[in-house]
A and B are shown apart, each in its own frame.
Chain A
Amino acid sequence: MNWLDILGVGGIILAALIFVITRVIKRIRGKKPSCCS
């Protein structure tokens, strides 16, 4: 892997991780799930 590849792939993984974590925190705090409104 070259550095550009590592940066791109790493960025996408990081974004996915942040997305999942914020979603989990929102749910635990009791915010209404975005699905099934």
Chain B
Amino acid sequence: MSKRKLRIALAGNPNSGKTTIFNALTGAHHKVGNYPGVTVEKKEGQRIRGDRVYHFIDLPGIYSLTAYSIDEVVTRDFLLDEKPDLIIDVLDSTNLERHLYLCLQFQELGIPVIGALNMTDEAEAKGIKIDAEALSRILGIPMVKTIGTHGTGIDFLLDKVDETMEHPQPQDRSIRYGDEIEAKLQRLQTLINLDEHFAARFPSRWLAVKLLEKDANAYERLKDHSNGPSIAAEARDAISWLEKHYGKDNEIVLSEQRYGYIRGAVKECIKIVKKPDFSITEAIDRVIMHPVLSMPIFILVLWAMFQITFTLGEYPMAWLESFFSWLSGVLYQVLPESGFRSLIIDGIIAGVGGVLSFVPLIIILFFLLSILEDIGYMSRAAFATDKFLHTFGLHGQSIFPMMLGFGCSVPAIMAARTLKSRRDRILTILVIPFISCGAKLPVYVLLAAAFFPDNPALIVMAIYGIGVVLSLVAAFVLNRTILRGDPTPFVMELPPYRAPTLRGIIWHVWDKTREYIKKAGTVILAASILIWAITTFPSSSLPESQREALKVSYLAEHPESSQEMLDQYLEVQASEYQLAHSLAGIIGRTIEPVFKPLGFDWKIAVAMVTGFTAKEVIVSTLGILYGVGQGESEASEGLRAALQHDPVWNPLVAFVLMLFVLVIPPCFAAQATIRAELGWSWWAFSVVTLLVFGWLLGLAVYQIGILAGVGL
């Protein structure tokens, strides 16, 4: 017997816990964040219970069905065009009045709605007592109390879904707008229903309401109606009549009616039993969001985060490094001398192992970031920086995509969809590459630890800080030149402080770590093999005459040296010769003149080119370039020491390289996302300006450093 499949949309206001409910319903583990706009694309998942298959679609959070931003359009189009069997509206119980506004609009769509009164534990803690049954009765919408984080009420919610599907709600229960408006709605509905084909596609009541609200998208949809123009004219007449009658904008009249209706329902069904005389949230906010203290606190928090990451991360990183060098040593002994052995040791272990050593750092950094995010601090930090962002022409909401950028640029660029105007979206996406993603961290850590051993954490934090400053400067310049205009107004929601759940944090961290390890096992593995290939072929050996000359000069300089030392010296020279004449050497030396003014040699040049696939590949490339052909003693020294011994490197070069990596275009995946979101021309603009600016910045810092004699 085949199971009955139900398509259920999960919708609601931003930050009401839709994704938490989605995860609890489906057993999925999607990212949940304590700030609005985490879900920018719809996600799907299933649950089987009895003879039913429940197919859930998690939609982006929206404030109303009047589509302004892309995520609102996604939700609205889905509900209208794909017509799910049922909508579960996830409502924040602590803020019910505002969240019910959207719920009423769902009801007008004519699709059965169930309200999930989420976060009832928080509401109860605040002394808010909700009579769910009475609310269901008044609104004609079944209401179920849930606590998404604990999975409470999920089974009951599914029971209600079954019940609603078997006994559909009466369609006439939606809100009444008053006699005058109702008469106009009735007239419009009759006209819409004349075209049966059209009426089957769009709920006539909802469309009539939207027409009276002057919704541009609703008028757009009327074009498909056989009598569209006359309905539009009728609607405009109705609007002007109603506006004269009420003496205010029709949109406001309708929303006032809705709020009035909601206030009435809330008064009946919600009791505030005790008002906490002292709100902890307010007390903490008074300090954290203090006009003067907020910025220093934010910087202090970031500083502490980097210090903890480094101090704790140092030990497991060292263990992993020694594990990989031990593994190389063992394989060197076990495997017979062959190209295959070199590929494994000098290619795969040097490349992938180098990147995997940073896993502990990634775990610690994202653990701390998740705590800050889940507590609700990140939203406060965003609020504190909001005014500041405005002076640079950025939209206050841009802070969320930018913060996601610390993890990975790809979701950050996609999150810019929450911005309403295209100008704000372009501006935000163009500055996201300046925010250092997790993949750049290994590069910074490697160089900071090798060349700034006294305080590597401070240097890495400085680079992150420079990235943020550059993003603001870039926004400022773009705002004054090619992207003129004012950011659209925006009111930021401040979520309450929430104790982070262990499960939530573990999943955040696991999500990031899994991505990182997966990347190491796929892209970085493939890149390492290819880099090894171009450093190994074409194979050439040191000409005998040159070998003799090197031998003579070495013995002249080191008359006391043993045969063993001489052999080792010649072996290193032979591998240097091989490397310089390999494909990588040829490419590197061809492009070296471009990088020379920045203090980079051909090996760094090669790493910059390969780094385009993924930023971690820079570490792999250096690992392979500095490890290829070295005897087992040198190979086990580690990349850090190898860099310190190379005369090309000094603290100035390392710092310039960190800056260069910070600014140059992001990895291939991020670039593909920019192209997908903004098109080819903005992609080209982004890549070219970042390359040119990165080079100029590197040049300026290096040349000034040389002149001032700093870091040599």
Give A residues with C-beta under 8 Å from B: 1-2, 5-6, 8-9, 12-13, 16-17, 19-20, 23-24, 27-28, 30, 33-36
**A12–B338 CA distance with the chains assembled, in angstroms:** 14
Asked whether, in the complex, the Cβ of B529 is within 8 Å of the Cβ of A35, the reply is: no
Within 8 A of A (CB), among B650-682: 668-669, 672-673, 675-676
Asked whether, in the complex, the Cβ of B526 is within 8 Å of the Cβ of A20, the reply is: yes
Given A24-B668, A33-B669, A34-B518, 10 extra CB contacts under 8 A: A1-B339, A8-B340, A16-B530, A23-B523, A28-B672, A30-B675, A33-B673, A35-B410, A35-B515, A35-B518
Whether A13 contacts B673 in the complex (CB less than 8 A), given A5-B339, A36-B408, A36-B411, comes out as no
Asked whether, in the complex, the Cβ of A12 is within 8 Å of the Cβ of B343, the reply is: yes
Q: Which of A8, A16, A30 meets B672, CB within 8 Å? A: A30
Asked whether, in the complex, the Cβ of B339 is within 8 Å of the Cβ of A13, the reply is: no
Asked whether, in the complex, the Cβ of B339 is within 8 Å of the Cβ of A35, the reply is: no
Which residue of chain B is the closest to A23 with respect to CB atoms? Answer: B523
Whether A35 contacts B340 in the complex (CB less than 8 A), given A16-B530, A19-B526, comes out as no
Say how far B133's CB is from chain A's closest CB, in angstroms.
Answer: 39
Whether A33 contacts B529 in the complex (CB less than 8 A), given A6-B339, A12-B343, A27-B668, comes out as no
**A36–B530 CA distance with the chains assembled, in angstroms:** 24
Give B residues with C-beta under 8 Å from A: 338-340, 343, 407-408, 410-411, 515, 518-519, 522-523, 525-527, 529-530, 533, 613, 668-669, 672-673, 675-676
**A9–B347 CA distance with the chains assembled, in angstroms:** 11
Which residue of chain B is the closest to A28 with respect to CB atoms? Answer: B672
Q: Which of B339, B515, B526, B529 meets A36, CB within 8 Å? A: B515
**A2–B407 CA distance with the chains assembled, in angstroms:** 46
Whether A12 contacts B529 in the complex (CB less than 8 A), given A5-B339, A35-B518, A36-B410, comes out as yes
Say how far A14's CB is from chain B's closest CB, in angstroms.
Answer: 10
**A2–B672 CA distance with the chains assembled, in angstroms:** 41
19 A-B pairs in the complex with CB atoms less than 8 angstroms apart: A2-B338, A5-B338, A9-B339, A9-B343, A12-B529, A13-B533, A17-B530, A20-B530, A20-B613, A27-B672, A28-B672, A30-B675, A30-B676, A34-B518, A35-B408, A35-B410, A35-B669, A36-B407, A36-B410
For the complex of A and B, list the 4 residue pairs with the smallest distance between their C-beta atoms, beginning with the closest. A16-B529, A27-B672, A16-B526, A36-B410
Residues on A with C-beta less than 8 A from B340 are 5, 8-9
**A17–B427 CA distance with the chains assembled, in angstroms:** 36
Say how far A20's CB is from chain B's closest CB, in angstroms.
Answer: 5
Looking at A5, A9, A16, A24, which has the most chain B CB atoms within 10 Å of its CB? A9
Which residue of chain B is the closest to A21 with respect to CB atoms? Answer: B526
Residues on B with C-beta less than 8 A from A1 are 338-339
**A33–B225 CA distance with the chains assembled, in angstroms:** 39
Residues on B with C-beta less than 8 A from A13 are 529-530, 533
Say how far B400's CB is from chain A's closest CB, in angstroms.
Answer: 15
Residues on A with C-beta less than 8 A from B533 are 13, 16
Say how far B609's CB is from chain A's closest CB, in angstroms.
Answer: 14
**A33–B675 CA distance with the chains assembled, in angstroms:** 13
Residues on A with C-beta less than 8 A from B669 are 27, 33, 35-36
**A12–B519 CA distance with the chains assembled, in angstroms:** 18
**A16–B527 CA distance with the chains assembled, in angstroms:** 7
Which residue of chain A is the closest to B673 with respect to CB atoms? Answer: A33
Whether A35 contacts B519 in the complex (CB less than 8 A), given A13-B530, A13-B533, A27-B672, comes out as yes
Residues on A with C-beta less than 8 A from B408 are 35-36
**A26–B313 CA distance with the chains assembled, in angstroms:** 36
Looking at B526, B530, B668, B676, which has the most chain A CB atoms within 10 Å of its CB? B526
Say how far A31's CB is from chain B's closest CB, in angstroms.
Answer: 9
**A1–B675 CA distance with the chains assembled, in angstroms:** 44
Say how far B653's CB is from chain A's closest CB, in angstroms.
Answer: 29
**A21–B672 CA distance with the chains assembled, in angstroms:** 14
Residues on A with C-beta less than 8 A from B411 are 36
Say how far B558's CB is from chain A's closest CB, in angstroms.
Answer: 33
**A35–B669 CA distance with the chains assembled, in angstroms:** 8
Say how far B628's CB is from chain A's closest CB, in angstroms.
Answer: 14
Say how far A15's CB is from chain B's closest CB, in angstroms.
Answer: 8
**A17–B527 CA distance with the chains assembled, in angstroms:** 8
**A9–B164 CA distance with the chains assembled, in angstroms:** 62
Say how far B373's CB is from chain A's closest CB, in angstroms.
Answer: 16
Residues on B with C-beta less than 8 A from A27 are 668-669, 672
Say how far A7's CB is from chain B's closest CB, in angstroms.
Answer: 10
Say how far A13's CB is from chain B's closest CB, in angstroms.
Answer: 5
Q: Which of A16, A34, A35, A36 meets B525, CB within 8 Å? A: A16
Say how far B578's CB is from chain A's closest CB, in angstroms.
Answer: 14
